[in-house]
Amino acid sequence: MSNDPRFFAFLKERIGLDVASVGEAIIERAVRQRCQSSQSPSAEAYWQHLQTSHDEQQALIEAVIVPETWFFRYPESFATLARLAQARLAEINQMRALRILSLPCSTGEEPYSIAMALLDAGLAPHQFKVQGMDVSPLSVERARRGVYGKNSFRGADLEFRDRHFTEDAGSYRIADRVREQVRLQVGNLLDPALLANEPTYDFVFCRNLLIYFDQPTQKQVFDVLKALTHVDGVLFIGPAEGSLLGRHGMRSIGVPQSFAFSRHVEPTPPPAPLVKPTPAPLPQRRAAPIPLKPRPFSTVSPNVPPVKGVPTDAGDLLSQIATLANEGKSAEARAACERYLSSHPPAAQVFYWLGLLSDVAGSALEAQGYYRKALYLEPQHPQALMHLAALLESQGDSAGARRLQARAARSERADSESKR
């Protein structure tokens, strides 16, 4: 009953969600849950209830949205932000506070990470303010509470937790000095009046959202994001979304693993130089050739000693690859992938990680090859399907992207049904 296209259209209109990007099964499951919770006897009865209840509309949206975030996800983005923020303050002669926007902010891990990164970089509280926004009131309320479990802290470097949190009955409460830097509110990125009366932002974070929209909605969201970002500002996006920005007048700032983009302005060609007559050159004596010396950094890499403590078990090595990639350590993650392939049979997950690492580095053709290898080994690999679809979409192959999205949706539906 829940594959009624009216529910798909409702979510598309309200939050821009493209059913092909997440799979029909996720939406079907959410509709079934809400139908049971509201004690609606049929899909038609639930649809009628949905039309007349704002609370139920929001409840369905909440059932579809499943936050997946943690503190300092993609750490190089925050290190880059700290450097850019200091430079930006100097550019504006510290005449005003920096304005930073995080949307969707989910349960608050990202905007609080921004605040912690800037405080740790030496910025004073009056020098910046962070605004977090999300379509989910429940997520915003959780962010306002500022209490987090262990799942919000991932990776090896957790020293920030000791500086900015206090432990409270197995959970961690964020410090007031961090909380005071962040203002949280409910808002919809597709709302035409979103932040209409607000000044533009120096830095905007909008990560891992665009891949869930179809191409027209992506264009609509890009227009909103560009309008919100200062002409000299920087937009931070997710690792799978970089290939989508080139068509919309944005270019990478060139910092690896930062996923940071700025407006691209075609340089004005310099005026033609005035031609002046030059005297004939005097004859010169030919100098003796200077003997070439080896360059300190040659293209031939020396033998790198093996890393101590490298796991040999396949499962441990796969976990290490995921950890390194999520921490933004691309070179180490790629090396771990190569170690895996040299000592174990080919695995779809390893080729998926190689594809993602290549995608992040801007090597679209190489990424496409790795994603296809992953799908050769595991035809319904969900992440490889979605990232390859996003890559094809960015290259103008909308039909190919749609086919892959449909495959991902069918896989998700079959997986959901097998678990009933």
Least confident range from 56-65, 233-242, 309-318: namely 309-318
Q: Are 58 and 94 in contact (CB under 8 A)?
A: no
pLDDT surpasses 50 at 300 = no
pLDDT band with cut points at 50, 70 and 90 for residue 259: confident
User: Across residues 89-109, what is the average pLDDT?
Assistant: 95
pLDDT, one tens digit per residue, over 100-152 is 999 999 999 999 999 999 999 999 999 999 999 999 999 999 999 999 999 99
CATH number of 75-263: 3.40.50.150
Please report where in the chains the tokens 């798909």 appear, as a residue.
8
Q: Which of 164, 167, 58 is nearest to 111 (CA)?
A: 164
Q: What is the pLDDT of residue 267?
A: 53
pLDDT, one tens digit per residue, over 313-335 is 788 888 888 888 777 788 888 99
User: Across residues 406-419, what is the average pLDDT?
Assistant: 64
Note whether 75-263 and 314-418 share their fold: no
Q: What is the pLDDT of residue 14?
A: 86
Q: What is the pLDDT of residue 153?
A: 96
Helix and strand numbers, DSSP H then E, in the chain: 18, 10
pLDDT band with cut points at 50, 70 and 90 for residue 47: very high
Q: Taking the alpha carbons of 223, 228, 231, 234 in that order, is the dihedral positive or negative?
A: negative
User: Across residues 265-290, what is the average pLDDT?
Assistant: 51
Q: What is the pLDDT of residue 269?
A: 56
Q: What is the pLDDT of residue 420?
A: 55
Provide, rounded to the nearest whole percent, the portion of the chain with pLDDT above 70: 83
Q: Which of 107, 133, 116, 106 is nearest to 75 (CA)?
A: 116
**From the CB of residue 252, how many other CB atoms can be counted at a distance below 10 Å?**
17
pLDDT, one tens digit per residue, over 335-351 is 999 888 888 888 889 99
Q: What is the pLDDT of residue 295?
A: 31
User: Across residues 57-77, what is the average pLDDT?
Assistant: 87
Please report where in the chains the tokens 């605004």 appear, as a residue.
131
pLDDT surpasses 90 at 29 = no
Q: What is the pLDDT of residue 176?
A: 97
pLDDT surpasses 60 at 37 = yes
pLDDT surpasses 90 at 5 = no
- Distance between CA atoms of residues 41 and 46, nearest Å: 7
- Distance between CA atoms of residues 114 and 100, nearest Å: 8
pLDDT surpasses 90 at 294 = no
Enter the tokens of residue 133: 């926004």
pLDDT surpasses 80 at 225 = yes
DSSP state of 294: -
Provide, rounded to the nearest whole percent, the portion of the chain with pLDDT above 90: 36
Domain 314-418, CATH class in plain words: mainly alpha
H-run or E-run covering 415: helix 398-418
- Distance between CA atoms of residues 337 and 350, nearest Å: 6
Helices (H), 302-345: 314-326, 330-343
Q: What is the pLDDT of residue 279?
A: 53
Least confident range from 9-23, 128-142, 165-179: namely 9-23
- Distance between CA atoms of residues 326 and 313, nearest Å: 20
Q: What is the pLDDT of residue 405?
A: 79
Q: Which residue has the higher pLDDT, 57 or 296?
A: 57
pLDDT surpasses 60 at 187 = yes
pLDDT surpasses 90 at 70 = yes
* Alpha-carbon distances, residue 232 vs 88, 204, 250 (angstroms): 9, 12, 12
Q: Which of 403, 349, 395 is nearest to 375 (CA)?
A: 349
- Distance between CA atoms of residues 164 and 174, nearest Å: 6
Burial 328-365 (b: 16+ CB within 10 A, else e): bbbebbbbbbebbeeeeeebbbbbbbbbbbbbbbeebe
**Most confident by average pLDDT, 94-108, 235-249, 279-293:** 94-108
Mean pLDDT of the chain: 82
Q: Where are the domains of the chain?
A: 5-64, 75-263, 314-418
